[in-house]
Amino acid sequence: MDNSSVHKFNVQKLNGDDVSLSAYKNKVLLIVNTASQCGFTPQLKDLAELKETFKDADFEILAFPSNDFGGQEPLDGAAIAAFCESSGAKNFPIFDKIRVRGSFAHPLYQFLANKKENGKLSSVPRWNFHKFLIDRDGHVTDFYYPFTKPTASKIRKKIERLLAAAH
């Protein structure tokens, strides 16, 4: 397995089921840490809009709730699922709440944030809704700070380029 790929990681769904990110091979991914009580929470609807834009393409959004910033994700499990659905985020998977920074960060986020591990860039999430863009081979290609809306043209154009690239 390619050690510079997110496909080597397993994550948990909100119901506790394990998911291998290798299930997303050949898909362009946007990985986002989310929170229900954040000023950026309206981006859940923007994420759903972005997913709809690329609904017929090999594109997926993977959302990871986190309580690492300001205690802005007090919910767990089914309560997170219900909140996300009521916020319009029902067309992409929401995974179990994880840590996304510091020594207790989930291994996926340790990988995403560290150039020594991912081979491309270092970008530790500074707040909720930090976004990582992943190519079809599972390699980190770019990141976007929380204030960049998921529907921003620079994100859409980069997704289009990655989708158009041969794999």
Distance CA 139, CA 31 (A): 12
Neighbours of 134 (CB within 10 A): 25
Structure tokens at 83: 């909140």
State yes or no: is 38 an active-site residue. yes
Which of 6, 21, 38, 113 is catalytic? The answer is 38
Distance CA 135, CA 43 (A): 22
Buried b / exposed e along 7-28 (16+ C-beta atoms within 10 A): bbbebeebeeeebebeebeebb
The 59-65 sheet, strands edge to edge = 59-65, 28-34, 131-134, 140-144
Write out the catalytic residue numbers: 38
